[in-house]
């Protein structure tokens, strides 16, 4: 199993992830601003376990590592850029049925590759940072706009308060950005107990038949998602 996470995660989190698979630490090389420069979800959109849409300025070693694990790379048309909206081109959520993103920001290659899916247009272009799909069709979001849009479309979605999630250089981070689901485990970069909705979140996650693995005992920190690929 291959796991991709920001190089900025703590030593304790690195060791926990290494116990679950091969860990590739992501270090961005583009002019993306510092708070999110090393966040993999700024450059990569996983389509499933064996296909990824990748920005042209994704580091070469990351592309090589993905290919070595037999992951197909769909090249994006534009780089992940220095600031919004160019920095949000690949920060979308894709499942086997839907693609959720801000349509006008989505990279054309990603839009073309997901054209057979239902496209849900939201105002929050940092969608993956703010939206986590659970395997039972339930969603968790930390963005009110995403919550309203998907609720109107009758998706089962829970709105969580992200104000206790750390994102260096910003007021706070977002729930999706500190999490990743690999097989039947939800990894969170921090302890759920620090979140105001921790009891509800725990129930939602367990009801989706997922185990919870907290990578640290500290406040959750947004690291640009945790991506896992396995056969």
pLDDT in tens, 18-38: 999 999 999 998 688 889 999
Task: Return the pLDDT at 206.
Answer: 98
- Of all residues in the chain, the percent with pLDDT exceeding 70 is 100
Burial of residue 101 (number of CB atoms within 10 Å: 0-12, 13-18, 19+)? buried
Tokens of 226: 């945790």
pLDDT band at 103, cuts 50/70/90? very high
pLDDT in tens, 157-173: 999 999 999 998 899 99
Cβ–Cβ < 8 Å for 114, 74: no
Model-wide pTM > 0.85: yes
* CATH number, domain with residue 155: 3.75.10.10
- DSSP code at position 165: S
pLDDT at 231 over 80: no
Q: What is the mean pLDDT of residues 99-112?
A: 98
* Residue-number span of the structural domain to which 206 is assigned: 2-229
Task: Return the pLDDT at 91.
Answer: 98
Which residue is it, tokens 């054209």? 115
CA dihedral sign of residues 203, 210, 111, 77: positive
pLDDT at 120 over 90: yes
Q: What is the mean pLDDT of residues 59-87?
A: 97
Which backbone phi and psi does 133 adopt, to 5 degrees? -85, 130
R_g over Cα of the chain: 16
Q: What is the mean pLDDT of residues 136-144?
A: 98
Task: Return the pLDDT at 33.
Answer: 87
Instruction: State the Cα–Cα distance between residues 10 and 156, nearest whole angstrom.
Output: 33
Task: Return the pLDDT at 163.
Answer: 97
Instruction: State the Cα–Cα distance between residues 47 and 53, nearest whole angstrom.
Output: 7
Cβ–Cβ < 8 Å for 100, 61: no
Domain count across the chain: 1
Instruction: State the Cα–Cα distance between residues 213 and 223, nearest whole angstrom.
Output: 16
Task: Return the pLDDT at 34.
Answer: 87
Cβ–Cβ < 8 Å for 126, 105: no
Instruction: State the Cα–Cα distance between residues 140 and 123, nearest whole angstrom.
Output: 16
Task: Return the pLDDT at 179.
Answer: 98
- In Å, how far from its chain's centre is CA 9? 15
């Amino acid at each position: 199993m291959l796991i991709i996470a920001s190089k900025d995660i703590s030593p304790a989190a690195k060791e926990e992830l290494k116990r679950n698979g091969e860990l590739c630490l992501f270090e961005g090389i583009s002019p993306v601003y510092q708070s999110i420069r090393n966040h993999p979800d700024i450059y990569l959109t996983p389509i499933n376990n064996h296909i990824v849409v990748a920005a042209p300025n994704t580091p070469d070693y990351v592309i090589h590592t993905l290919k070595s694990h037999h992951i197909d790379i769909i090249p994006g048309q534009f780089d992940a850029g220095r600031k919004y909206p160019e920095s949000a081109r690949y920060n979308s959520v894709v499942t086997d049925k839907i693609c959720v993103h801000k349509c006008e920001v989505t990279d054309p290659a990603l839009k073309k590759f997901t054209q057979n899916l239902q496209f849900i247009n939201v105002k929050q272009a940092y969608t993956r940072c703010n939206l986590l799909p659970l395997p039972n069709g339930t969603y968790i979001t930390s963005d009110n706009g995403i919550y309203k849009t998907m609720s109107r479309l009758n998706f089962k979605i829970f709105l969580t308060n992200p104000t206790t999630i750390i994102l260096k250089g910003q007021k706070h981070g977002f729930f999706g950005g500190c999490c990743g689901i690999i097989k039947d485990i939800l990894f969170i970069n921090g302890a759920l107990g620090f979140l105001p909705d921790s009891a509800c979140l725990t129930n939602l996650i367990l009801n989706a038949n997922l185990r919870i693995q907290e990578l640290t005992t500290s406040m959750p920190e947004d690291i640009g998602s945790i991506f896992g690929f396995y056969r």
